[in-house]
């Protein structure tokens, strides 16, 4: 099914999927293989020269993974998608076509701690760098730009703080500066927000989270909607200039709207090797079939629980953009019409020690370093996911020592409140 005029609930079930032509199997098969037989020598040469589209080796492409790519592209409104082994690998893949040694990006200072660490430390190995700014201060974004800036990077809904980015305003600045806006849409999913509709140029996902929804399958994805002209300036030679690895082929000139996508397959996956496993693609396809149903329940439960916590004397601050008290409530209605997600944080008046006791005494919530599961999850970021960050970075990421992050599942909200209540009582003792 390739039609794009269907609504979300239909696309999440059918996009990228069709009956297997050999067996008639209705569900997408798991193509658990590494290589594919060529018709003849000429066919093989055409594939390797990028003159023909087809399957070569599962590090590059795989039919099960292709089905997932097509489904994600349909849901996000992209021209193409490339899946990979994790959300972190997706971020590197998104940057690879854009960056040269010495280049930098501007990134939100509210990113997930692992992303901050990746962009603060790891990318230095490529001689890249990141400047972290508060996206609420639009002037600071403009001031951070220089001749080596190649992109702006943010999350639609931040992890852990649940901050909702004004994508439209950030996109205007990116467009003015002639750089692409990359939005990590993991926490929102295309059901809650479609960043392309608000001016984003590239979208990334950790498919591990809400898209999968079951805590079983690692994966990532990079999507492009062909809204950025890679040949307009000389900033992006990997896409606009001759590629030595393909005898001088120019990706943008040759592939047009699919230039960024083909680069992701032909260069990034070929040379970095961070391919998605077919089994993980299959499980993610299954997860996406119920995405809208789950997201509705995630949002409904989160709204109830966050509202309850906001009235509790044991709690300091509740950070959830879906609350009327949130300074971002109007932004949610404008850019996140289906809700502010299932992720939020709150502070406990007893500080660090109380947070640890609270986490240890929960019974229904699982203490894990993940989010977006059908099960409700809890973590204390300051002692785990954000432990490697400085105190200032923790505060900027909304991950201070007195703060707990909840990822609300699809259980009964009353049961979840009872569990939180008893754990809070024990944290105060």
Give me the pLDDT at residue 22, please. Answer: 80
Residue 421 lies in a domain: yes
pLDDT computed for residue 5 by the predictor: 83
Q: What CATH number corresponds to the domain at position 375? A: 3.90.1150.10
Say whether both 223 and 93 belong to one domain.
yes
As a whole number of angstroms, the distance between CA 194 and CA 335 comes to 8
pLDDT at 417: 98
34 inside domain: yes
Q: Which of 256, 287, 318 is the last residue of a domain?
A: 287
* Cα(156)–Cα(183) distance, integer angstroms: 6
Residues 86 and 214 in one domain: yes
**Sites in the chain below the pLDDT cut of 70:** 1-4, 385-399
247 and 374 inside one domain: no
Give residue-wise pLDDT tens across range 141-176.
999 999 999 999 999 999 888 899 999 999 999 999
Q: CATH number for the domain including 73?
A: 3.40.640.10
- What pLDDT is stored for residue 385 in this prediction? 63
The count of other CB atoms within 10 Å of the CB of residue 199 is: 18
pLDDT at 410: 98
Tell me which of 263, 287, 311 is where a domain ends: 287
Query: How far is 412 from 420, CA to CA, in rounded Å?
Result: 13
Assigned domain for 1 exists = no
Pair (241, 342) in one structural domain: no
Residues 245 and 181 reside in one and the same domain: yes
156 in any annotated domain: yes
Instruction: Answer yes or no: is 180 within a domain.
Output: yes
Does 362 lie in the same domain as 281? Answer: no
Task: Say yes or no: 74 and 146 in one domain.
Answer: yes
Output the pLDDT for position 89.
97
Residue 277 resides in a domain: yes
C-beta separation of 203 from 303 below 8 A: no
Looking at the structure, do residues 160 and 85 belong to the same domain, yes or no?
yes
The pLDDT value recorded for residue 288 is 98
pLDDT at 344: 94
Residue 376 shares a structural domain with residue 318: yes
The domain boundary, picked from 231, 253, 287, lies at 287
Burial (Cβ within 10 Å: 0-12, 13-18, ≥19) of residue 75: buried
CA 157, 109, 182, 168 dihedral sign is positive
Q: Are 251 and 305 contained in the same domain?
A: no
What's the CA gap between 43 and 426, in Å, rounded? 68
The answer to whether the peptide bond before residue 332 is cis (omega within 30 degrees of 0) is no
Within 13 A of 10's CA, how many CA atoms are on the CB side? Answer: 7
Structural domain contains residue 311: yes
Instruction: Give the residue from 205, 148, 159, 154 showing the smallest Cα distance to 181.
Output: 154
Question: pTM to 2 decimals?
Answer: 0.94
- Alpha carbon distance 252, 65 (integer Å): 24
Q: What is the pLDDT of residue 161?
A: 80
Give pLDDT, residue 389. Answer: 64
Q: Which domain holds residue 423?
A: 292-427
CA distance 353 to 208: 30
The answer to whether residue 3 is domain-embedded is no
Give how many domains the chain has, as a whole number: 2
The reply to whether 282 and 421 lie within a common domain is no
String of DSSP letters for 173-192: HHHHHT--EEEE-TTTHHHH
91/151 same-domain check: yes
What's the rounded Cα separation, in Å, for the pair 186 and 112? Answer: 11
8 A C-beta contact, residue 408 and residue 416: yes
Give per-residue burial for 351-382: e unless 16+ CB within 10 Å, then b: eeebbbbbbebbebbbeeeebbbbbbbbbbbb
Q: Hey, is 418 helix, strand or coil?
A: helix
């Amino acid at each position: 099914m390739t039609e794009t005029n269907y609504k979300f609930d239909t696309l999440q079930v059918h996009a990228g999927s069709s009956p297997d032509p050999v067996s008639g199997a209705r569900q997408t098969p798991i193509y658990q293989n590494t290589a594919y037989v060529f018709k003849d020598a000429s066919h093989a040469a055409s594939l390797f020269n990028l003159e023909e589209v087809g399957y070569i080796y599962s590090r590059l492409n795989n039919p099960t993974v292709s089905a997932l790519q097509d489904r994600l592209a349909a849901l996000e409104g992209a021209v193409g998608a490339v899946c990979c082994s994790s959300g972190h690998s997706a971020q590197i893949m998104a940057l690879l076509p854009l960056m040269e040694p010495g280049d930098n990006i501007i990134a939100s200072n509210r990113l997930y701690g692992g992303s901050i660490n990746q962009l603060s430390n790891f990318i230095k190995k490529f001689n890249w760098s990141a400047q972290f700014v508060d996206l609420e201060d639009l002037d600071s974004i403009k001031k951070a730009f220089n001749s080596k800036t190649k992109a702006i990077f943010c999350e639609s809904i931040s992890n852990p703080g649940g901050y909702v980015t004004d994508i439209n305003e950030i996109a205007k600045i990116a467009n003015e500066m002639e750089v692409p806006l990359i939005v990590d849409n993991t926490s929102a999913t295309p059901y809650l927000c479609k960043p392309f509709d608000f001016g984003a140029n590239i979208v990334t996902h950790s498919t591990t989270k809400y898209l999968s929804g079951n805590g079983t399958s690692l994966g990532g994805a990079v999507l492009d909607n062909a809204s950025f002209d890679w040949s307009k300036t000389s900033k992006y030679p990997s896409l606009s200039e001759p590629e030595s690895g393909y005898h001088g082929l120019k990706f943008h000139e040759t592939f047009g709207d699919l230039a960024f996508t083909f680069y992701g397959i032909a260069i990034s996956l070929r040379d970095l090797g961070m391919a998605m496993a077919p089994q993980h693609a299959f499980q993610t396809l299954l997860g996406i079939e119920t995405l809208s149903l789950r997201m509705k329940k995630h949002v409904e439960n989160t709204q109830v629980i966050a509202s309850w916590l906001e009235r509790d004397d044991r709690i300091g601050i509740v950070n959830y953009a879906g609350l009327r008290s949130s300074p971002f409530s109007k932004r949610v209605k404008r850019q996140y019409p289906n809700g502010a997600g299932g992720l939020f944080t709150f502070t406990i008046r007893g500080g660090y020690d109380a947070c640890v006791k609270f986490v240890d005494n929960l019974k229904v919530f699982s203490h894990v370093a993940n989010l977006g599961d059908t099960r409700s999850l809890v973590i204390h970021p300051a002692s785990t996911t954000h432990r490697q960050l400085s105190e200032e970075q923790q505060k900027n990421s909304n991950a201070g020592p007195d703060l707990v992050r909840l990822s609300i599942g699809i259980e009964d909200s009353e049961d979840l409140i009872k569990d939180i209540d008893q754990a809070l009582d024990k944290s105060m003792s």
